[in-house]
Chains A and B, each alone.
Chain A
Amino acid sequence: MLFNSFDFCFIFFPLVTALYFLLPHRFRWAMLLAASCWFYMAFVPVYILILGFTIAVDYAAGILIERSQGSVRKRWLIASIVANVGVLAFFKYFNFLNQSIAALVQGMGIAYTVPDLGILLPIGLSFHTFQSLSYTIEVYRGHQKAERRPGIFALYVMFYPQLVAGPIERPGNLLRQLNERHVWDHARVVHGLQQMLWGFFKKLVIADRCAVIVDQVYGDPSAYDGLGTLLATYLFALQIYCDFSGYTDIALGAARVMGFDLMVNFRTPYRSASISEFWSRWHISLSSWFRDYVYIPLGGNRVVRWRWFMNLMIVFLLSGLWHGANWTYVAWGGLHGLYLVLAIVVAGAMVWFDGITGLVRQPRLRRALAILVTLHLVVFGWVFFRADNFAEAGEVITSWTRIDGSMRGLIALAREIGAGIVATTLAFALVFIALDPWADAIAKGERSIAWRPARFAYFGALLAACLIFGNYGAAMFIYFQF
């Protein structure tokens, strides 16, 4: 079920929330679990069996790890990892691997006839697999007690607000809260709804409007000049941020209404002054997952320099692959790994540069310049993320060398989509960029509008903007496919 659907907004969410507070505490987990199954089965019902398999394996693995000693513990952990990664590999990467092998083998003139699997990727598979894995790893490390109640553990994996696109929760945060008794708290409920509304605004008014222009240009980049493809790439940066962080805000808000605090997943990432800062503010639950369960076990930065660089590259190549079974995602991840390696290599030179240019005495200017550079490095990376293949990415990038000051591409875009739609989308994009830090802090409850009429006017205006300017034609959230 999509958050931006009639069924979710007017039936599922009000009904589940009302039932949650009306039911006695001891029945709530069962109701939430049933509701989460309903939520998930609205997509492809049969895929609940895959979730069931993951839950059964990790529930048993958690108990077995806790009961065992020495190398047996490790064996159960490995069994859990193999089962989870096996499911992921089968459903998400089999066709990718098969097609890659076919291309390689056929390139050598050898016949290859292994067919692709005719299956759909289960929605949110990478998210709940990683969430479930974090549980067994934490139990193995002794940071988490094994959960004995299968229903509670199933709810930990399936909790509907974050089931299909995160945040990828940790047992230390969510599992604990599933046992807590939550009471109706007016301020918390209102804050949750406000955060949901901000999420809907980002999704419907910003992301889905940008998507119209981005899809048009990336559908046939050769039809547009450099200015058109550049604009589409900037708008894609905005689209993916608003799409994913909008989803996260709705998820966090829906959970908060019921009394749950999920992980913060975004902190205005495009205001980062370095790529490493960007990754501490973008999809935080995934980057911290890779940090805790891959990067640090590999030795992190406490190894010789070349190993450190290799660790970074491994983590980011895996992160790219996590996003999608396509070499363009791997390239996107690799590019970010390369950015980080280069940042370490040139760190000394940057200190020297700051000194000779005087930027060291202008910290605000230095940060502003660093933000600008970081933003453009990230935007460049998004080309690989959005393009269907390397040829398309190459076409977009080479088109930028042909920017000649003419407005042909923009005029063509306005003609095809409608000048009014392009103009309102750009206007909303600019307003959003200016207001995001302030509005984001309000949505997260970190600040508020003190004057009550102004507060109501602000949220009333957001709601009206969603209704009037929202693009209701686009449906899915980008990150659902991961």
Chain B
Amino acid sequence: MGRFIRDMLLLLFTFLVCYLTVMALLCSIAPQGVPLVYRIGDYLNFKGGNSYRKFQEFKRDSVYDVVFIGSSHAFRGYYPEFFARGGYTSFNLGSSGQSPMNSYFILDAYLNKANTKLVLLDVFEGAMERDGLESTADLSQNIGSDRAAAGMALALQDPRAVNMLTLRWMRRDAPPMYADDDYRPGGSSWRSDSVRTRLHYRKGHPFKPHEQQVRYLRKCLQWCRDHGVPLVLVNHPYPHQSDHAKHAQFNAMLRTLTEEFNVPYIDMAYDHDLDDEDHFYDHNHLNSAGVERFNARLIPRLVEAGHLPQRP
């Protein structure tokens, strides 16, 4: 057995030498300015864009009335500028495809009772059905916290996460490779254009939550309870033509968790007067006109329910 362990250690050593050498070469050879490493697969994200900017901008020692987290629905659906009109300071830590697993590590690394008076977690059935790869690929390159990046990569239980972390480490001093023109200070992203053509909405597919995401949503709720950070779950508006039946199945799943943790849930998926074309820029993301109307209705509801203080 001793000989076997020695051989395995030798194999591990030669593997590390080979792996790091090849990764270093792929990261440093950059024809047309793009390192080769980005061409070996489609899951390694560029450093930069919306996620990079917001985690650079977010200050752990500031105090926010509300911090938004969740998928693209979050960073495209809650504008700190609109909340500022009501006298509330806020920051948007939502990111593309952010699943509850990713949200959990963001909560743990960035938020606490002192800097956040309310966490608003946008819940979306699409984010619950994913494995978290898309968001981990993005955040592993762009989030500031090494602990959060490593945590979500390991939670993914996918060998690709090792490459993501190696890439993060090898390119930690590299500047961002692109900027997101839609980015607005405070972490949100604005789109003013509207749906121009009639869209097809997928219907009839049952809600199939990813086991790990259900577990991590529970962990998010538990984390907020343990750390004394108030939490509210919100479902932002969906187009009226989207799948109501699937959303009902999602709500049924969510209800068991909200009742268990006594967490408020504001479901505005179909409780709105937005137009499917004028207020959305694609099949499920609000444009700025839609966000303005949605936020204008949401803020009074949060105040009425006592989640936000009354401001003059």
Q: A189-B4, A467-B163, A468-B19 are contacts. A460–B41 as well, Cβ < 8 Å? A: no
Interface residue A418 (Cβ < 8 Å from any Cβ of B): yes
In the assembly, what is the distance between CA of A457 and CA of B19, in Å? 11
The answer, among A186, A423, A459, A471, for a CB contact under 8 Å with B11, is A459
Q: Is there an interface contact between A472 and B158, defined as CB atoms closer than 8 Å? A: yes
Contacts of B42 in A (CB 8 A): 418, 421
B10 at the interface (CB under 8 A from A): yes
Are A463 and B4 touching (Cβ within 8 A)?
no
Point out the residue from A420, A464, A472 that lies within 8 Å of B15, measured CB to CB: A464
CB of B39 within 8 A of chain A?
yes
Does A112 belong to the interface (CB within 8 Å)? no
Would you call A190 an interface residue if the criterion is a C-beta within 8 Å of the partner chain's C-beta atoms?
yes
Write out, one digit per residue, whether chain B residues 282-297 have a CB within 8 A of any chain A CB (1) or not (0).
0000000000000000
Q: Decide if A420 touches B18 in the complex (CB within 8 Å).
A: no
Closest Cβ–Cβ distance, residue B175 to chain A (whole Å): 22
A471 CB contact (under 8 Å) in B1, B36, B41, B157: B41
Given contacts A190-B7, A470-B159, contact A419 B17 (CB under 8 A): no
B22 to chain A: which residues have CB within 8 Å?
464, 468
Cβ of A424 within 8 Å of any chain B Cβ, yes or no, is yes
Q: Which residues of A contact B3 (CB under 8 A)?
A: 186
Name 15 A/B residue pairs within 8 A (Cβ), A-sorted: A6-B159, A186-B3, A186-B4, A189-B4, A418-B42, A420-B36, A421-B41, A421-B42, A423-B39, A456-B13, A463-B19, A464-B15, A467-B19, A467-B163, A468-B26
B38 at interface, CB cutoff 8 A: yes
Write the nearest CB–CB distance from B181 to chain A, whole angstroms: 24
Number of interface residues of A (CB under 8 A): 26
Q: CB distance B39 to A421 under 8 Å?
A: yes
Chain B at the A interface: SS class: helix
CB contacts under 8 Å to A, within B13-62, are: 13-19, 22-23, 26, 36, 38-43
Binding site for B on A (CB under 8 A): 6, 184, 186, 189-190, 418-421, 423-424, 456-457, 459-461, 463-464, 466-473
Determine the chain A residues whose CB is within 8 A of the CB of B39 once the complex forms.
418-421, 423-424
Say yes or no: A463 contacts B23, CB within 8 Å: no
B248 located at the interface, meaning its Cβ lies under 8 Å from any Cβ of chain A in the complex: no
Interface size class of B (residues with CB under 8 A): 20 to 34
Contacts of B41 in A (CB 8 A): 421, 469, 471
Interface flag for B246 (CB, 8 Å): no
**Chain A residue, CB-CB nearest to B37:** A468
Q: Separation in Å of the B165 CB from the closest CB of chain A? A: 12
Q: Which residues of B contact A418 (CB under 8 A)?
A: 39, 42
A463 x B15 contact (CB < 8 A): yes
Residues of B within 8 A of A473 (CB): 43
A190 to chain B: which residues have CB within 8 Å? Answer: 4, 7
Contacts of B38 in A (CB 8 A): 420
Chain A hits for B19, CB < 8 A: 463-464, 467-468
Give the most central of A456, A469, A470: most B CB within 10 Å. Answer: A456
B159 and A456 contacting across the interface, CB-CB below 8 Å: no
Residues of the B chain whose Cβ atoms lie less than 8 Å from the Cβ of A421:
39-42
With A6-B158, A189-B4, A470-B159 in contact, do A460 and B15 touch (Cβ < 8 Å)?
yes
Q: How far is the CA of A463 from the CA of B20 in the complex (A)?
A: 12
User: Beyond A184-B1, A420-B38, is A460–B11 a contact (Cβ under 8 Å)?
Assistant: yes
